[in-house]
Amino acid sequence: MTHGPRPVVLATGNAHKVDEVGDILGPGWVVSAQDPDVEETGTTFEENALLKARAVCEATGDLAVADDSGIEIDALDRRPGIHSARWTEESDWIPRVLRELDGVAGERRSGRYVAAAAAVWPDGREVVVRGVVEGHVPDAPRGSGGFGYDPIFVPVEGDGRTFAEMSADEKHDLSHRGRAFRALVEHLA
């Protein structure tokens, strides 16, 4: 018996994430989205991802997945971390990082993108995994692709370009979210 693509509900109100997660999971999945409308009260990326996935699973009765992700910058004591989407207005995310790193040079501009991806099934099963990519913050934003902090994140494993300078496929191959959701899909099968 042949089965078609399986449905999964992504707990997000971010259209960029729907497209990105759909691309990462591939043609075996049909990704819809629902805003989890839940306060992110966790102290880790994993706790926040589970909060969102639980809320959407409960609301829909379907398999729900969620992620919580952010950038940790070593010279800023790993800030903004779990507060990446809330530490300042979105229009100030990149300018604030660059202001706070003013005068910080070279290796001290290191950091990482972190993503925790969670799945929650209606029967109560839960799984959460983590994806990390190390990199650094350049002196100025570069590129117009991606979203969020992508114009100021250069992955160590890349070729010197920011995520915003890469095609979607190139980014997914290296990204924290790509790593987390590829690890998660092994648990969904």
Residues tagged active-site: 68
60 HSE (CA, 13 A, CB side): 23
One-letter amino acid at 11 equals A
CA 66 to CA 33: how far, in whole Å? 10
DSSP per residue, 99-166: HHTTT--GGGGEEEEEEEEEEE-TTS-EEEEEEEEEEE--SS---SSS-TTGGG-EETTSSS--GGGS
Q: How big is the chain, counted in residues?
A: 189
**33, β-bridge pairs:** 10
Please enumerate in sequence order all residues whose Cβ is within 8 A of that of 106, keeping only pairs 6 or more positions apart, or say none.
none
